[in-house]
């Protein structure tokens, strides 16, 4: 399904004319039935108003306002669900008939779901009742998607991916040209006649890059490819799928998310690779590794890795030998929410960083409890929401300042950009680096 425009104002999905009030409500009911479950109702009705979630949410920790308490976001959705879909009231005709497009409660829900929650899941770890406001706000996004209400930054990239297979609209020739040029650039380091494999059949690993590195950050991509080559991995890239990102997931549309994720999954099948390895991208990893099996209702019979997991294994196996202390310490690590808390990848990046520095310092809190950087949930892709993510980066700035770090390492493009912006906005003096940069620079060839 293609979608069009719309920041804070109501709008329509492509090709649709305005629906009647009852047609909108029926549409919402279909989404509601599809996305809810017994677990969802248990969560939404279980809040005991203890307030424990507040201190887990980077919004509240950055700006102590009641609207930033996770439980208060749930109440907005609860009220709408009760007004429109109460199991008893709706049956005897007392459900609300107001057109959702004219109902200000949906404006509040839009802000709560798309602007005031990055779906990071930290509140769930603090809640004694196991309520995950992030999952509940994801349901809110699905309802809003049904009304055609989306931030602009979650529309064009998805439409472009649905049309071209990657969110920047690069074609296969662009892709092949870039990879061939990179191979030439790498020849000096890697040896004469060095090539980079494309569409090689039956490899152990299919590597899915981030299109931004193909277009704008080729030296970062070179670092990734250098690591695979130096570890002597049996790997390939593929013209059939070269975009790890999946902004469709953040729209709240599982259909669009499945279609976008279908590209790397199909590429693996076509070239018969034994596994997928993904460029550092938190949400891309979450969707492919942890969401797609649920969405498709099938188990994958191949592993999916975020790149740092492979790098960690290469170091443990002695396939990569690294030089230590090449960059300034203390060094700290920011856990991308979708790789750490929601992805379970906590120790591999730490082992990798300890192989690179003698001066590693943890943030507080860290690991599964680490705060979101403030740019997650698709916020970083919408320019007009920049002021929000800058304000909500305050707690991350406080965490980094307390470590005294001169280098912040992370494993996600969005996090990296947000943490770079945090340094500027909060007058902090550190460099932020992708984990692939620090590893690639330290490889002893
Ligand atoms: S921690 Fe859980 S129970 Fe307590 S206020 Fe937050 S959502 Fe409600
Ligand atoms: S999921 Fe994250 S951003 Fe959303 S309410 Fe919970 S802690 Fe806050």
Residuewise pLDDT in 10s, the chain (445 residues): 444 434 433 333 444 457 788 888 888 888 888 888 888 888 888 999 999 999 999 999 999 999 999 999 999 999 998 888 876 665 555 566 678 888 899 999 999 999 999 999 999 999 999 999 999 999 999 999 998 999 999 999 999 999 999 999 999 999 999 999 999 999 999 999 999 999 999 999 999 999 999 999 999 999 999 999 999 999 999 999 999 999 999 999 999 999 999 999 999 999 999 999 999 999 999 999 999 999 999 999 999 999 999 999 999 999 999 999 999 999 999 999 999 999 999 999 999 999 999 999 999 999 999 999 999 999 988 888 999 999 999 999 999 999 999 999 999 999 999 999 999 999 999 999 999 999 999 998 8
H or E stretch including 228? helix 218-230
| Token pair recorded at residue 153 | 């930054």
Report the candidate in 378, 354, 356 with the shortest Cα–Cα distance to residue 154.
Answer: 378
Cα 296 to Cα 289: distance, rounded to the nearest angstrom = 12
Q: Which atom of ligand 1 is nearest to the CA of 133?
A: 7
Distance 142 CA to ligand 2 centre (A): 17
Nearest ligand, measured from the Cα of 115: 2
Residues with CB under 6 A from ligand 1: 47-53, 70-71, 126-127, 129, 131
Nearest ligand, measured from the Cα of 73: 2
The closest residue, in CA terms, to atom 2 on ligand 1 is 127
pTM: 0.92
Mutate which of 70, 78, 135, 137 for ligand 1? The one with the most ligand atoms within 8 Å of its CB, which is 70
Report the candidate in 84, 85, 157, 73 with the shortest Cα–Cα distance to residue 120.
Answer: 73
The closest residue, in CA terms, to atom 7 on ligand 1 is 71
Distance 43 CA to ligand 1 centre (A): 10
Handedness of CA 61, 385, 131, 95 (dihedral sign): positive
DSSP states of 64-96 as a string?
Answer: --GGGSHHHHHHHHHHHHHHHH-TTTTTTT-S-
The closest residue, in CA terms, to atom 3 on ligand 1 is 47
């Amino acid at each position: 399904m293609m979608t069009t425009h719309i920041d804070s104002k109501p709008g329509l999905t492509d090709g649709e004319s305005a629906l009647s009030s009852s047609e909108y409500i029926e549409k919402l009911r279909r989404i509601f039935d599809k996305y809810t479950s017994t677990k969802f109702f248990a969560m939404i009705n279980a809040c005991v108003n203890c307030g424990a979630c507040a201190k887990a949410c980077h919004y509240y920790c950055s700006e102590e306002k009641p609207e930033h308490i996770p439980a208060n976001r749930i109440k907005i959705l609860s009220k709408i669900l009760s007004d429109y879909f109460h199991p008893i009231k709706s049956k005897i005709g007392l459900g609300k008939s107001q057109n959702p497009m004219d109902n200000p409660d949906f404006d509040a829900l839009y802000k709560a779901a798309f602007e005031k929650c990055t779906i990071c899941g930290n509140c769930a770890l603090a809640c004694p009742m196991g309520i995950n406001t992030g999952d509940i706000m994801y349901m809110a996004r699905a309802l809003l998607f049904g009304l055609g209400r989306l931030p602009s930054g979650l529309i064009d990239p998805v439409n472009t991916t649905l049309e071209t297979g990657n969110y920047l609209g690069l074609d296969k020739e662009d892709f092949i040209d870039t990879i061939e040029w990179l191979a030439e650039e790498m020849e000096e380091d890697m040896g004469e006649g060095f090539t980079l494999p494309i569409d090689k059949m039956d490899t152990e690993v299919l590597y899915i890059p981030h299109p931004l590195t193909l277009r704008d950050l080729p030296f970062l991509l070179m670092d990734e490819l250098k690591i695979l080559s130096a570890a002597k991995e049996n790997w390939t890239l593929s013209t059939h799928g070269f975009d790890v990102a999946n902004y469709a997931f953040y729209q709240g549309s599982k259909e669009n998310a499945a279609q976008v994720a279908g590209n790397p999954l199909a590429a693996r099948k076509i070239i018969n690779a034994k596994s997928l390895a993904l460029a550092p991208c938190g949400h891309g990893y979450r969707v492919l590794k942890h969401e797609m099996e649920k969405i498709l209702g099938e188990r994958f019979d191949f592993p999916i890795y975020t790149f740092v997991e492979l790098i960690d294994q290469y170091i443990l196996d002695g396939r990569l030998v690294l030089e230590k202390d090449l960059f300034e310490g203390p060094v700290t690590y920011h856990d991308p929410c979708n790789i750490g808390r929601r992805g379970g990848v906590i120790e591999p990046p730490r082992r990798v960083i300890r192989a690179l520095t003698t001066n590693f310092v943890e943030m507080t809190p860290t690991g599964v409890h680490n705060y979101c950087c403030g740019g997650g949930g698709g916020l970083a892709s919408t320019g007009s929401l920049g002021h929000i993510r800058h304000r909500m980066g305050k707690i991350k700035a406080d965490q980094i300042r307390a470590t005294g770090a001169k280098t912040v390492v992370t494993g996600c493009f969005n996090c990296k950009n947000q943490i770079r912006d945090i340094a500027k906005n909060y007058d902090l003096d550190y460099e932020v680096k992708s984990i692939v940069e620090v590893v690639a620079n330290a490889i002893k060839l």
